[in-house]
Amino acid sequence: MTISSGFGSKYGRKIRRKYDNVTQGYKFKKLVCPFCGMKKVTREASGIYECLYCKKKFAGGAYEVETRIGKTIRSSMAKKNVKELEVFLEEETKIEDKGEKEEKAEKEEKVDKKEKKQKKEKAKESEE
Using the minimum distance from each CB to Zn ion, give the nearer residue, 74 or 80.
74
Report the alpha-carbon distance of residue 58 to residue 61 in Å, rounded: 10
Residue 75 carries which side chain, given as an amino acid letter?
S
Task: Return the closest-CA partner of residue 47 out of 73, 29, 66, 34.
Answer: 66
What lies within 8 Å, CB to CB, of 39 at 6+ separation is: 30, 31, 32, 33
Instruction: Give me the least distance between CB of 51 and Zn ion, in Å please.
Output: 3
The answer to whether the beta carbons of residues 11 and 23 sit under 8 Å apart is no
Report the alpha-carbon distance of residue 100 to residue 47 in Å, rounded: 52
Q: Which of 26, 51, 60, 65 binds Zn ion (CB under 5 A)?
A: 51
Q: Which stretch, 18-26, 47-55, 58-66, 111-119, contacts Zn ion (CB under 5 A)?
A: 47-55
Q: Does 54 bind Zn ion (CB under 5 A)?
A: yes
Interaction mask 25-44, Zn ion, x per CB under 5 A: --------x-xx--------
Using the minimum distance from each CB to Zn ion, give the nearer residue, 25 or 34.
34
For residue 108, the 8-state DSSP code is H
Using the minimum distance from each CB to Zn ion, give the nearer residue, 16 or 33.
33
Binding site for Zn ion (CB under 5 A): 33, 35-36, 51, 53-54
